[in-house]
Structure 1
Amino acid sequence: MPPIRARLVRAKGRVVRALDRVVPAAATAVVHSSPDLDDSVVALLREAPADVPVTVLCRDPRAVARRADALGLPRPRAVPHQSARGWWAYLRSTVAVSTHGLHGCLPRPGRKSTVGLWHGELGKAIGAFAGEGPRHFDWVPVSSPLSRSLRSAEFVLDPALIHVVGSPRQRLLAPGPDRAAAPLPPGRHVVWVPTYRTSVTGAIRTDGDPEALRSELPLDDPRLDALLTRHDATLWFRPHPAADQALPPTGPRVRRATNADLADLGLTFYELLGRADCFVTDYSSVWVDFLLLDRPMVAFCPDLAAFRSGRGLAVEPHEAWFPGPVVTTAAALLDRLDAALADPRTGAEVREHRRAVLHTATADPVAAVWDRVRSEVGR
């Protein structure tokens, strides 16, 4: 973050904190995510308690309403988080639930508290490992003791505030009993989730080697189309929310999987992920959640050396931790993808070991978050 912007963020945080001391809390909660209405927030709103008034803080209330309609959610009360109404909703809330934190992510005074739904575990170096300042949350859900240790170090946070209950977004990997699966094209499905190399929103930065990725990206390669045709498969390519959302040239069996694209199908991203036969990524933490499905995955990392020496990764070596092959060329990716689609048990033993380490939660993560909110609101 540029120094001037960082100073402005800190100054705004101090103003909000001063106001937070004098504005009395009401028995309400606010929920915020970046991007608006992400999958963890969708999972929470599907089971929002009737006895706790909840306001969604967002960039675009109209877009939130459209997304809620497309996903079959009751329209939430949504206000712009940087508006006077958004500030007031935050200041009056007893609990603020957020993926990234609000208003500097500082401790709230008195009986007000925060829940931190960070959007992933064990991916890129973040927080203190990326030279950022501490983030304060009073209650953070994670999936394993290892994630608790890392989150504590990333946010400079007391590990006693971090709880191994799983993450709400993980609930969307399987449709609930009252939600029918949305129709998808027939056949099998591959989901590909690269992280950004150059961000265009939020903190503007470049990680890894964008040209190395572009030069090896096989989305319009006839060999990929032949492979997908042979396995009767569709490849869903999801640009990182911070990256340019335009697709590079693609073949006929490749489809884009942004939130807007999937909302047209009545799906969230994690609902699509739950129906994937194979998963491709690089350094995205989504692979940790995909482990719950026990299906093959491949890491495509043409710029591994550059990413490792620059941004860095949360757990190393990446080749040892990732529960599948890590490849650096398009040819190797196609070979490994072919093997994974041919035999879903490919790599099962490695996945079993990683799952035993990275998923030890036995709680219902959505219920755990709402239990925390209720307990704070009811105090």
Structure 2
Amino acid sequence: MTRSVRAALKLAILRICLNGLPAREHAVVAGFPDEEGNSVEVVRELAGCLPVYWLVAGDPESLAWLVSDADGVSRVRCVRKNSLRAYWAYVTARYVFFTHGLYGSPKPPRHKTIVNLWHGDGPKRRPGFATIRSTFVVSGTRLWGEPRAQGFGVGQHGVLICGNPRVDQFARPATDEALRELKLEARRPLVVWLPTYRTTRYPGDRLGAVRNWSDADSLSVSAVVQATLTQAVQDAEAMGVQLVLKPHQLDADNYASTGLHIITDTDLREARISLYQLLARADGLITDYSSVWTDFLVRDRPIGFYCPDLDQYVGGRGLNVDHYPSLLPGQLLEGAADFRTFLRDCVDEPAASRRLRRRAAVRIGAETRPAATRRLLDAVGVRCRDTRE
């Protein structure tokens, strides 16, 4: 029997069991990567309500720190995703939550609730994902949430615009000690640049058959980009601002020669903080087509957009909205002078900047209230008994 036949047989058996077995009072959560913020926050909140099976690809012990201080942590069972224990937990769970699909994502039976947490809102064009089936799909904005009714085949009633659970990490900001681990100074203003990856650097066994791909030319090979960023680093230092780059784990771009302070996923892991806990200490954010800015609206801090390849990106992968710059809650940074203005705004923000951001939040229908995860669990019917430790 070939590997593909075995995999198809396994999924077929899981589908039959999912439909035929009764639901037990526990939940299953799976995210990609294992530390993905939406899945982690759902595990943490569910732990105070009912038993949770957290299905992971990596070493369960290495992930324990992410939930160790959560209420009801003793009810969390972290198990390998491709194990019999994980399969059994999945087919018998009353609630299933995932970020990128799970076990082929079959159509949910009526007696079980399956929630697609997804992994953010934003303008990047994506193909239809109706094959990732679920009862509900989560969003943080009306602009990008409402189209998911058709895209994921859940109908309007199945779209939950409750905010992405990971924004709850803003309420647990990185400590001064964690910042020192990252070679940052707690007393100095911090601005984080989170660029979308244009070209991937494939690091190993991730997402099945997906390998390297490119949505646009690498930014770091551009002499203009290199010069702009090098000047921005120098200007930030002169202002006393810490300008930090956190690249995506798949990003093939290399900005080391610009002098940017680069923080990796490994650095965050060693400091025992998440990306959003770092952002909770940020005075400003720079990004482009990433969904992170829709989450950062919760912080109500300046957001700048560095999109030197806007025309190429629109003509390549494409965006799912017209006139993207008109939606933005902050300025487009087109050169070193714009960077200087933005960095000053992060230290002392003018009222006009705040008004622009708040109008943009209304325009896209952003959910900016705290407690997103609790709203999600309420919406899907998870009721916490008085079992918190």
Task: Please give the range of the TM-score, normalised by the shorter of the 2 chains.
Answer: 0.7 to 0.9
Alignment of 1:265-344 (within 5 A): 265-328=271-334, 331=336, 334-341=339-346, 343-344=348-349
Alignment of 1:172-251 (within 5 A): 172-175=169-172, 183-184=178-179, 185-186=184-185, 187-199=188-200, 200=202, 201-202=206-207, 203-204=210-211, 206-215=213-222, 216-218=224-226, 222-244=230-252, 248-250=255-257
Q: Is the 8 A contact 2:226 2:255 kept in 1?
A: no
Task: Check 1:343–1:7 CA distance in 2 against 1; reply closer, same or farther (3 A cut).
Answer: farther
Q: Tell me which of 7, 17, 20 is aligned to 1:19.
A: 17
The TM-score with structure 1 as length reference comes to 0.83
Q: Tell me which of 18, 23, 28 is aligned to 1:30.
A: 28
Task: Check 1:362–1:336 CA distance in 2 against 1; reply closer, same or farther (3 A cut).
Answer: closer
Task: Check 1:158–1:376 CA distance in 2 against 1; reply closer, same or farther (3 A cut).
Answer: farther
Q: Tell me which of 254, 259, 274 is aligned to 2:261.
A: 254
Tell me the C-alpha RMSD between the 2 structures: 3.3
Q: How many residues align?
A: 364
Task: Check 1:100–1:239 CA distance in 2 against 1; reply closer, same or farther (3 A cut).
Answer: same
Q: CA deviation at 1:7?
A: 10
Task: Check 1:11–1:295 CA distance in 2 against 1; reply closer, same or farther (3 A cut).
Answer: farther
**Residue in structure 1 matched with residue 78 of structure 2 by the alignment:** 78
**Residue in structure 2 matched with residue 143 of structure 1 by the alignment:** 140
**Residue in structure 1 matched with residue 115 of structure 2 by the alignment:** 115
Distance 1:205 1:262 in 2: 24
Task: Check 1:166–1:252 CA distance in 2 against 1; reply closer, same or farther (3 A cut).
Answer: same
Q: Is the 8 A contact 2:192 2:243 kept in 1?
A: yes
Task: Check 1:40–1:363 CA distance in 2 against 1; reply closer, same or farther (3 A cut).
Answer: same
Task: Check 1:133–1:311 CA distance in 2 against 1; reply closer, same or farther (3 A cut).
Answer: farther
Distance 2:346 2:282 in 1: 11
Task: Check 1:169–1:68 CA distance in 2 against 1; reply closer, same or farther (3 A cut).
Answer: closer
What is the letter of the counterpart of residue 261 of structure 1?
D
Q: Percent identity?
A: 26
Distance 1:63 1:236 in 2: 29
Q: CA deviation at 1:232?
A: 1.7
Structure 1: where are the runs of 5+ without partners?
none
Q: CA deviation at 1:315?
A: 2.3
Q: CA deviation at 1:180?
A: 6.0
What is the letter of the counterpart of residue 195 of structure 1?
T
Provide the secondary structure at the position in 1 that maps to 2:191. strand
**Residue in structure 2 matched with residue 263 of structure 1 by the alignment:** 269
Provide the secondary structure at the position in 2 that maps to 1:57. strand
The TM-score with structure 2 as length reference comes to 0.81
Residues 30-60 of structure 1 show CA distances to partners (whole Å, capped at 9, x for unaligned) of 1111110322233233333444110111101
Task: Check 1:89–1:247 CA distance in 2 against 1; reply closer, same or farther (3 A cut).
Answer: farther
Residues 46-85 of structure 1 show CA distances to partners (whole Å, capped at 9, x for unaligned) of 333444110111101336435437x755574211212222
Bigger shift: 222-231 or 165-174?
222-231
Structure 2: where are the runs of 5+ without partners?
none
Distance 2:347 2:89 in 1: 52
Provide the secondary structure at the position in 1 that maps to 2:218. helix
Q: CA deviation at 1:376?
A: 11
Task: Check 1:304–1:87 CA distance in 2 against 1; reply closer, same or farther (3 A cut).
Answer: same
Provide the secondary structure at the position in 2 that maps to 1:279. strand
1:159 aligns to 2:156 (yes or no): yes
What is the letter of the counterpart of residue 136 of structure 1?
R
Bigger shift: 97-106 or 337-346?
337-346
Task: Check 1:154–1:318 CA distance in 2 against 1; reply closer, same or farther (3 A cut).
Answer: same
Q: CA deviation at 1:8?
A: 9.3
Distance 1:27 1:196 in 2: 40
Q: Is the 8 A contact 1:247 1:256 kept in 2?
A: no
Task: Check 1:49–1:313 CA distance in 2 against 1; reply closer, same or farther (3 A cut).
Answer: same
What is the letter of the counterpart of residue 230 of structure 1?
A
Distance 1:160 1:363 in 2: 22
